[in-house]
Chain A
Amino acid sequence: MYQIHVQGLTKSYRIAERQPGMVGAVKSLFHRTYRDVDALRGIDFDISRGEMVGYIGPNGAGKSTTIKILAGILVPTGGRCVVNGVVPWQSRISYVAQIGVVFGQRTQLWWDLPVVESFELLREIYKVPNNRFKTSLAELVELLDLSPLLDTPVRQLSLGQRVKCDIASALLHEPQILFLDEPTIGLDAVTKASVRGFIKEINRNRDVTVLLTTHDLGDIEALCRRVIVINDGICLSDSSIDELRNQYVHEKHVVIEFGNSPCLESIHQDDVLKSEGTRITFLCTSDISDFVAQMTSRYEIKDITIETPPIERVVTELYESSK
C-alpha cells in the first residue's frame, strides 16, 4: 500500500489573453479570449511510507503545481491522487492537519510575531496536546539550533534562520508527510548543509515521508535515493541517482598521474581533455575497465582517479533531450 499514489494527473490553467494596444484593451472589456495551458499532462508515481524522493525539473515544468495538488490547495483537471487514503482536495481541512508543507520562497509564519508565538498559535490551530507539543518542539529546537531565535520576530530573521523556523513549524504537529518546495533556495553552504542534515534526521527519527522539489541537485545527492524528473508536465524518469547517471551519461573522465611524462600513442592522444605535466585527464567513452587495463599495461602509472560527471550535467542532458 503506497502512502502517495498519483496516477495520470493532469492540470490545465485557463489564462485570459488580451490583444495589445488600445483596441485590445477595449475589446477585452466585452469579450475575453482564453488560452488553455497544460501544466501537467499525465504524471504517475507512487511513494511508500518513509521514502525521501526528489522531484526535479526546469522552471515551469509543473513541480509546484504537483505539490499544490498534493497539498490539497489545487484541484487537478484529471487523474487520480490519493494520499494517506484520502483525496487531498476533497477533505482539505482534516487532510492538511496530517501533512507539513514548506515553501522556501515564502514564509508561512506570522511576519510580526516572535517565532515562539507563531509556534504557540500553530499548536492551537493544529490542536496538538500540550505534552506532545513540548516534546516535538524540544526535538526541533535542538536539531535545528533554534533556541537563540525563539524570541525574535520573524521579520528580523535572516533567510537561513527563517527557513529553519519554517521547517520546524511544518513539523510541530508531527505530520507523516512533508512536502518541501525548494527548501534550500538562496541559502549559504553551511546553512544548506545543516538543513539537509536536519531533513535526513527527521526522516529517520520520525519515519516521515519526504517529497522535495529543488533546483539544487546537491540536495538530491545528499538526501534522496530516488529522483523523479519532470519536464513540460510529464515524467521523464523515475529512478535512483546512480541509474540516472548511468543511463544518460556514457562518458567518464579519467585522471591519470604518470610516473614520468609519457609518450602517448596517437589513439590516446585524441582522448586527452587536459594535460598538466604528468597529470593528464582523459575522456573515456568506451568501457571503463578496458580503458584502465590498456593504460596500466602500456604506461607507468602512479595514480588513477575516475570522475563521474556531476549530476548537473546529467540533468541538463535530460532536460535538453526532452525538448
Chain B
Amino acid sequence: MTALALKSYIAVVSTRFRTLLQYRIAAIAGIVTQVFWGLMKLMVFSAFYEVAQNQPPLSFESIVAYVWLGQCLFALFPYNVDPDMRAMFNSGSVAYDMLRPLSLYAYWFSRTLAFRTAPTVLRLVPGLFFAFVVLRLVGLDEWVMPLPPSFVAAFSFFISILLTVALSASIMMLVSISMFWLIDSRGMVNLMAGVVWVLGGMIIPLPLFPDWVQPFLSWQPFRGLCDIPFRIYSGDIAGFEIVGELVFQLAWVAILVLAGVWLMRRAQVKLTVQGG
C-alpha cells in the first residue's frame, strides 16, 4: 500500500475518532460501572488470596494491576459491534461503501480502530485517576494500581497494547464480516463477548486457571488481548519472554487479518453477485 493510499485510511480513522469523542456521557457511565466492578473483583480476589494455602501463580500486586488495566481498557476489547456498522447491514446499505475507492477491508478496519480506541481514551483518564489516586486518598493502599517495575516493562507494555488494539480490531472484523451471512448479528456478538471475557482473562486472570487447561489457553488468540499486556505491565512476563509474547500477538494479528481479507473477498463476491 502506498503512503498516499494510507493517508485516506488515516483520515477515516481520525474523522471517526473525533466523532466518537463526542459521546462523553456514555463514557462516564461506562467508567463508573467499570470502577464498581473492579472493586468487586478485588474484594473477591483478596478473599481468595487470604485463604490460599499454596502460593498462587500471580502475586496479589499483579492481580491488582491486571484488574485495573482490564477495567480501564474495557472498551478496547472486541465485545460489541459498532452500531453504525450494524445499522448498515440492517438497512442493506453495505454495498454503497463499495462506491468509495477504498479496499473494503481496510476501510472498515480503520473505522473499527477508531471505534475501539476513542471510547477507551475517554474512559482511561478518570479510570486511572481512580485506580492511582482516589484509592490512595481513601486509604485502600493494597488496592492502588502499582507502577510497572521497570522502564523495559513500561515500554514493552506500550508496544503490547498497540498490538492488542490491532488484535481486537482484527477479531472485530471477523464478527462484522460474519454479518454478510447472518441475518442478525446479535447471537454472534453475545457469543463473542463471552469468549472474549473468559479466554482473554478478564473474568479470571489466565494463570489462575487449572493446569490442565493451560496448554490450550496459551495458544488461543484472545490471550493477546488482556493476559499478555497486563502481565508485561506487572513484570510477571519479563526478559526475553516479552519478545516471544509480542511475536505471538503479532502472529495472531497477521493470521486474523489474512482470514478477514479472505472472507471479505468471498463476501464481496457474494454481495456483488447476489445484490445488497
Contacts and interface: CB of A to CB of B under 8 A. Distances in A.
B26 to A, nearest CB: 14
23 contacts: A13-B274, A14-B274, A65-B275, A68-B95, A68-B275, A72-B98, A73-B99, A73-B271, A74-B275, A93-B102, A93-B103, A101-B99, A106-B91, A106-B93, A108-B99, A110-B15, A113-B15, A120-B11, A124-B8, A125-B11, A125-B101, A127-B4, A127-B7
Interface in B17-42: 19, 22
Q: Which of B7, B84, B100: most chain A CB closer than 10 A?
A: B100
Interface string B238-276: 000000000000000000000000000000000111111
Contacts of B272: 73-75, 89
B101 A126 contact: yes
Contacts of A68: 95, 275-276
Given A73-B95, A124-B10, A125-B8, 15 more contacts: A13-B274, A14-B274, A71-B99, A73-B98, A73-B271, A74-B95, A74-B272, A75-B272, A93-B101, A93-B102, A96-B100, A124-B8, A124-B12, A125-B12, A127-B7
B15 A96 contact: no
A313 interface: no
A313 B93 CA distance: 34
Contacts of A108: 96, 99
A94 interface: yes
Nearest to A179: B99
Interface string A272-286: 000000000000000
Nearest to A39: B275
Tell me the interface secondary structure of chain B in the complex. helix
A216 interface: no
Contacts of B4: 127
A92 interface: yes
Tell me the interface secondary structure of chain A in the complex. mixed
A112 interface: yes
Contact of B96 (A75, A94, A103, A117): A103
A263 B271 CA distance: 69
Interface in A88-124: 89, 92-94, 96-97, 101, 103, 106, 108, 110-113, 117, 120-121, 124
Contacts of A74: 95, 272, 275
Contacts of B10: 124
Contacts of B19: 110, 112-113
A97 B101 contact: yes
Contact of A94 (B8, B11, B101): B101
Interface size range of chain A in the complex: 20 to 34
Contacts of A73: 95-96, 98-99, 271-272, 276
A132 to B, nearest CB: 15
Q: Which of A71, A72, A73, A103: most chain B CB closer than 10 A?
A: A73
B50 to A, nearest CB: 49
* Top 3 closest pairs, chain A to chain B, by CB: A124-B11, A97-B101, A73-B98
A28 to B, nearest CB: 13
Interface string B184-210: 000000000000000000000000000
A89 to B, nearest CB: 6
A125 to B, nearest CB: 5
A106 B96 contact: yes
B7 A124 contact: yes
Interface in B86-138: 91, 93, 95-96, 98-103
B14 to A, nearest CB: 9
A93 B9 CA distance: 14
Contacts of B8: 124-125, 127
Contact of A121 (B12, B99, B101): B12
Nearest to A92: B98
Contacts of B11: 120-121, 124-125
Contacts of A120: 11, 15
Nearest to B94: A73
A73 B275 CA distance: 8
A286 to B, nearest CB: 49
A101 B95 CA distance: 12
A75 B95 contact: no
A73 B22 CA distance: 33
Given A93-B103, A96-B101, A121 B96 contact: no
Nearest to A77: B273
Nearest to A97: B101
A103 to B, nearest CB: 7
Interface string A110-153: 11110001001100111100000000000000000000000000
A281 to B, nearest CB: 48
B97 to A, nearest CB: 9
